[in-house]
Structure 1
Amino acid sequence: MAHAPWNAKFETVLRQGLPGLGKDKEPAADVPMDAYGLDSMALIGIISGLERAFRTSLAGQVVIPVHALTAGQLWGILSAALQPAWDQEWPSAASHRTRDLSPWAVA
């Protein structure tokens, strides 16, 4: 069996929310989690747990139907949420206040 692509913190939260996933079973990355007892209420609990554990927001990110969602997909969604947003606009230099700074502070 291949090693799971996620870390231990993710798996801990996953196990807490999946009643059908016993301590002796490893969640498969490509098996729909409804096979482990996932329903909409359990998914809310898992997402809340992941948001707390990883200090991020997954609001609007999980758009896969509950009956088809896999642990691998959920890990991918979480991983994407944790990545820096390289496409965010940075404030322009004109918006920075530089008038009151010494020339050595303006680079």
Structure 2
Amino acid sequence: MGQTPWNAKFEAVLRHGLPGLGKDKGLAVDVPMEAYGLDSLALIGIVSALESAYGVSLAGQVTVPVRSLTAGQLWGILSAALQPAWDAGRHPSATGGTARGQAPWIMA
């Protein structure tokens, strides 16, 4: 198996959720996962497992049709969800304190 862009946790979730992907079969970055048995129910299980494993929400993020979704695309979606929000550093909870002059509902 060649170099993949994802980590072992991601691959373990996919291997568990894709019925046609055995331990000895390589998972290609650009092959539609339908070739490994992905259907809409399997995708729901995989997305749920990824959300639990990585502590993120993928709600509304998987917009590629199940028929053409690849592992590489799903890894890209997950990677984007793992990136901090552009303004996360400005939120008071990100620094553990509150800033002077902020709205009271933020300082609660």
Opposite residue 35 of structure 1, the aligned amino acid is A
Matches within 5 A, 1:1-107: 2-87=2-87, 90=90, 94-95=101-102
Taking the aligned partners of 2:69 and 2:100, their CA distance within structure 1 comes to 44
Taking the aligned partners of 1:93 and 1:60, their CA distance within structure 2 comes to 35
Q: Which residue pairs with 1:101 in the alignment?
A: none
Query: Which structure has the larger Rg over C-alpha atoms?
Result: 1
**Runs of 4 or more consecutive aligned structure 1 residues displaced over 2 Å after TM superposition:** 87-94
Percent identity reads: 69
How many residue pairs get aligned? The number is 97
Query: What's the RMSD between the two structures over aligned residues?
Result: 1.9
TM-score by length of 2: 0.82
TM-score by length of 1: 0.83
5+ residue gaps, structure 2, are: 92-98
Could you tell me how far 1:81 is from its partner in structure 2? 0.0
